[in-house]
Amino acid sequence: MNIVVSDPKTRKAYTKKLEATPFVGKKLGQEVDLSDIGLAGYKGIITGGSDKTGTPMRSNFPGTGRKKLLIYPGVGFRKGEKGERRKRPLRGNTIAQDIHQVNIKLTHHGSTPVEETWPQVKKEKKAADKK
């Protein structure tokens, strides 16, 4: 499971890949303690997520399942004409074992900065990019 933690103060996001799934059963919009993932003293709100196929979670669809829903523009459906609705596959608002990525926004900060606990990995530029 990939955990993406966003810090509104620094406007940066930090990613960590975990083998365990610490937030199973939690819902979107619920505040969680982040000490389970190595951020002691931190708390955050679950803002979203997706499964391995990239299907997003939607807060107004209860449960853990995946289903095609008739939706209006928002999560899972970008801009449309006025009044347009489309059928799109979406995940429920509860985190299950098959969720691949969870997005969390920090609400309470701990004593050590996130940069020290989860250092960001710098991507190296390819030779083709340097030209």
- Interval 12-57: pLDDT, tens: 999 999 998 899 999 999 999 999 888 999 999 999 999 999 999 9
Residue 130 lies in a domain: no
Residue 129 lies in a domain: no
What is the model's pTM?
Answer: 0.83
Residue 92 lies in a domain: yes
pLDDT digits (tens, 9 = 90+) for 110-122: 888 888 888 776 6
Residue 8 lies in a domain: yes
Answer whether 5's CB lies under 8 Å from 34's CB: yes
Residue range(s) defining the domain that contains residue 102? 2-119
Q: What is the mean pLDDT of residues 82-110?
A: 92
Residue 127 lies in a domain: no
Residue 114 lies in a domain: yes
User: What pLDDT is attached to residue 97?
Assistant: 92
Whole-number Å distance between alpha carbons of 34 and 65:
25
For 1, 83, 94, 115, 129, the CA distances from 101, given in Å and listed in that order, are: 6, 31, 13, 20, 29
Q: How many domains does the chain have?
A: 1
